[in-house]
Structure formats: C-alpha cells, structure tokens
Amino acid sequence: MANIQHIQRLASGSPRRARFTVGRDIGGRWIVQDRQGRVGGLFVNEAAALHFAAAECNHDPAEICRAPDDTVLDFAPSSDPRSNLH
C-alpha cells in the first residue's frame, strides 16, 4: 500500500495534481475519485480506499491525495458518455 505519510493533502497550489483523491462523502463513506473519470468507488474505511488507489497507480504516492477533513466529496456518476460505470 502507498505509505500514508507520503500521501499529499489536497491543496489548490499543488504543482501537479494527483490522479486520485481520497476523502469522505456527505454520509461519511470513504470515496476514491479519479480525475480521469475512469475508476473510483465507495469504501468501508480509509485503508481500503487508499489500498485501491495505490493499486490503481502502481503504488505511486504522488498520484494520491487526501482531501481535507472538512471537504465533502461527491460520488456522482460521470456525465461523460465514454465512462464505463458498472
């Protein structure tokens, strides 16, 4: 799994945007969002969300960021017709 100490915090001034954002939705469930809109999901805990994101980016911690605790993520289906939502 990606080393939790190396996961960056989401910041507007980041020099490079990470592919995955890990955080919570309005119901407190853990979410992984992919900025490319290809994969993501709802998870039972933070460790499972981080494990998924790490596996999807070949365990590169620079590709994963943790949303601030006061940020609510939305897990809405993509409006992109090319998305592969199952």
Q: Quote the domain boundaries for residue 32.
A: 18-66
Report residue 60's pLDDT band, with 50, 70 and 90 as the boundaries. Answer: very high
Q: Tens of pLDDT along 23-46?
A: 999 999 999 999 988 999 999 999
* Position 53 in a domain: yes
* Position 11 in a domain: no
* Position 34 in a domain: yes
* Position 86 in a domain: no
* Position 54 in a domain: yes
* Position 4 in a domain: no
Sheet holding 30-34, edge to edge: 8-9, 64-66, 20-24, 30-34, 40-43
* Position 62 in a domain: yes
* Position 76 in a domain: no
